[in-house]
Structure 1
Amino acid sequence: MNNDVAIIGIGLHPFGRTDGLSGQQQGAHAVREALKDAGVAWSQVGVAYGGSQDAGNADALGNLLGLTGVPFVNVANGCATGGSALASVIAAIQSGMAEIGVAVGFDKHPRGAFNPRPRDWGLEDWYGETGMMLTTQFFALKTRRYMFEHGITDDALVRVAQRAFRNGALTPHAWRRRELGYAEIAESMPVNLPLRKYMFCNPAEGGAALVLCSARHARKYTDRPIIVKAAVMRTRHHGSFEVFSPGLAAEQAPAPTVTASRAAFELAGVGPRDIGVIQLQDTDSGSELIHIAENGFCEHGEQAHLLRSGATEIGGRLPINTDGGCLANGEPVGASGLRQVIEVCAQLRGQAGQRQVPGRPRLGYTHVYGAPGVSAVCILQAG
């Protein structure tokens, strides 16, 4: 175990809409649940990292959890906020800064699409005037191009969403818990073609938290630690086409997901075929399609066959987004990446209920991706 870090507690506030509770209150709930799961007190936590896009500073959770003087760092990395907070806590524990750390994310987004401003992302107003600041438009354009290049049809987009809602129906804490039929998805309202209404996730509310410690000490707190074998975050290179890219380079560079994934597999000393349960960023059906290949789980163009064969189902050889992913849970930006980790921990512990992957997987994988080209990958192992 050397310098490994273990997850000893997981906590979640259900995603969706929770009137009467602020995003910070939902984050504090998640931390309390994670502390209870780990059997430790907030006063024992030596370092914390957390983030939120629209619900205030994470370090203000101290007002709700207790003012203990803990070093609490705010993290802001778009959809990769949770993964970045996790990687930061791990580095702090590995450095000897603290024995116990907390990673937390939460959010409470207003209804409707995200409405970022071009200048906040280093862009001029023309980019917004073309409609490209609306991420549904960007992801549709990127998906259409990808499908054309690799011979993928709309059928694959429908199957991604159908599986997401089927799995969400088995997940008590998911927001969307109604299974949708193929035709209902395929004939739903066009948003930005080829992507339709039920192929997109929704901004949402919720909180997620993890308690971690050095793997050497994990058995003091739990008899079912989850070892973090890799937690890697990477940003884009020149030439990769990402959210808020103002143009296409003549020669395309690998996406940050590709570089993060390769680094994580190398650090963990495993490969894609070793992974037993997978969480991939699925802000929309097209993004999941792209991410299956970018994370090394298939070749580009093979996704349609995987989906039709059932390989990505809970009982398949590549179970993906077993809790329904962002499509069924919604995406409170600060919490979404940690929700992925919590689902994999539940699977590795054998506690996933109706959505449990058969055979008690030993290794799990999580991946988040966000603007303006940030990706975080985590590989977890049952202790």
Structure 2
Amino acid sequence: MTSFGKFADRSLGSLAREACIEALRDAQTAPQAVEMIACGCARSGSLQARESGVGQLVGWEVGIQGVPVYNEKAFCASGAMAFNVANLAVTGGEHDIALVVGVERMSTRNGKGRPLTSDGMVLEGEQGFTPPAYYAMAARRHMDVYGTTREQIAAVAVKNRRAASLNPKAQYREPITIDDVVGSRPVAGPLHLLDCCPTGDGAAAAIIVSERGAERLGIDPQVEILASIVGSGYYAEQRRDMTSFTLDRHTAKRAYERAQLGPEDIHVAEVHDSFSIAEIIHYEDLGLCEAGEGGKLVESGDTSLGGRLPVNPSGGLLNRGHPLGATGVAQIVELADQLRGRAGERQVPGARHALAHISGGFQEGDFATSGITILARIGATES
């Protein structure tokens, strides 16, 4: 993956090219060996990219031609959707070597003061229904129902910034305190600026191979995909509870069943922390703790580096950054590095099973898309 940040001098194509070339080299794979491209890009792109497809632009940049290209748009979950599509193609036997890329340029996309909303919700956004406003209401509700404290919510941002300080590719790396979070500029009460993920630019890429593809390339993969699950919102049957997301709970259940694991088997996770309260809610919906216990979980230190279950060792969306289409693939890159023991100072010792979670867009009070991927170090199930 590239560094994440605000890069006025970088194009969509140059960001994607950097990430893809790094992934190809890491997998000892020539561009000509790639049989398909799946690209996640939520919103950005030049006129050329919008007309021909961002994935096609990526292929041209990297030197891949004549292969099927799938362009996936699922707001924040665009990268996870692209990963899922490529995984389906490889596990289904249609292709043996797939390139997945997520890329976005957000720093010059929206303009100062323009609300960022889910597609089809421009009117709601202009009336105030933006992600910060929604999560602010969710935070208020979680505090009222479960007694979650403002300090527990702020602790998510502090924890993830501490991890980001060890990640050379993170957008923000300077350590912060709870007082810094609570004292930063108010955005939508109780959330302040440091409770919110930044806009930025970046790209991430991964290579998915079948056993036959690995043999053809002469490589020995170290990471296995146990589950790649996506779903759309339960608009009719949801509980209308702002402290939980029906879709995430259903998607997590399917992912654990597919992987034949439970939440207790996960050693490291990358979770959608677009806002500090979001990570707390996702702990609960992913089964990492009981409902209402998310605030206490982060306060305990269990989800910090060195804790029982480190969450967002990359720094998460809050600090690594959140270029929409790139994020889902960046989570995969981080977890693959963790499972391969090459995460440097933020390495989770002995990590064998890893979970990535991301959600995208809103539809009638639930997420529009949820993506969950469970990875394992090859040989982990026997160890």
Q: TM-score, normalised to structure 2's length?
A: 0.89
SS of residue paired to 2:100: strand
C-alpha distance in structure 2 between counterparts of 1:323 and 1:264, whole Å: 22
Aligned to 2:6: 17
C-alpha distance in structure 1 between counterparts of 2:101 and 2:299, whole Å: 36
1:218 deviates by: 3.2
SS of residue paired to 2:252: helix
1:61 deviates by: 1.2
Aligned to 1:192: 188
1:115 lines up with 2:110 in the alignment: no
Contact 1:239 1:251 in 2 (8 A): no
1:68 deviates by: 1.8
Describe the superposition over 1:143-196 as per-residue Cα deviations: whole angstroms up to 9, x where unpaired.
211221222110111100000110000001111011112211121111101111
Q: Which runs of 5+ in 1 are unaligned?
A: 1-11, 242-247
Aligned to 1:234: 231
Letter in 2 for 1:158: A
1:42 lines up with 2:40 in the alignment: no
C-alpha distance in structure 1 between counterparts of 2:243 and 2:147, whole Å: 19
Matches within 5 A, 1:20-169: 20-52=9-41, 53-55=43-45, 56=49, 57-109=54-106, 110=108, 112=112, 115-116=115-116, 120-121=119-120, 123=121, 125=123, 127-132=124-129, 134-169=130-165
Call closer, same or farther: CA 1:197–1:310 in 2, change over 3 Å. same
C-alpha distance in structure 2 between counterparts of 1:87 and 1:140, whole Å: 30
C-alpha distance in structure 2 between counterparts of 1:112 and 1:344, whole Å: 33
Letter in 2 for 1:201: C
Aligned to 2:354: 364
1:62 deviates by: 2.1
Aligned to 2:381: none
C-alpha distance in structure 2 between counterparts of 1:114 and 1:301, whole Å: 34
Contact 2:142 2:243 in 1 (8 A): no
1:319 lines up with 2:315 in the alignment: no
Q: TM-score, normalised to structure 1's length?
A: 0.89
What is the RMSD computed on CA atoms of the aligned residues?
2.1
1:312 deviates by: 0.6
Call closer, same or farther: CA 1:59–1:306 in 2, change over 3 Å. same
Mean CA deviation greater in 218-227 or 98-107 = 218-227
Describe the superposition over 1:275-322 as per-residue Cα deviations: whole angstroms up to 9, x where unpaired.
010110000101111111011100112122222221011111110000
C-alpha distance in structure 1 between counterparts of 2:359 and 2:174, whole Å: 26
Mean CA deviation greater in 106-115 or 293-302 = 106-115
Contact 1:58 1:105 in 2 (8 A): no
SS of residue paired to 2:132: helix
C-alpha distance in structure 2 between counterparts of 1:240 and 1:289, whole Å: 23
Letter in 2 for 1:279: E
Call closer, same or farther: CA 1:168–1:94 in 2, change over 3 Å. same
Aligned to 2:271: 280
C-alpha distance in structure 1 between counterparts of 2:113 and 2:101, whole Å: 24
Contact 1:49 1:85 in 2 (8 A): yes
Query: Residue 178 of structure 2: which of 171, 177, 182 is its match?
Result: 182
Contact 2:34 2:99 in 1 (8 A): yes
Describe the superposition over 1:223-268 as per-residue Cα deviations: whole angstroms up to 9, x where unpaired.
3421000000011112477xxxxxx959999521111111000000
C-alpha distance in structure 2 between counterparts of 1:144 and 1:266, whole Å: 33
Contact 1:137 1:192 in 2 (8 A): yes
Letter in 1 for 2:102: G
Contact 2:142 2:292 in 1 (8 A): no
Call closer, same or farther: CA 1:202–1:252 in 2, change over 3 Å. closer
Aligned to 1:9: none
C-alpha distance in structure 2 between counterparts of 1:332 and 1:152, whole Å: 29
Aligned to 1:172: 168
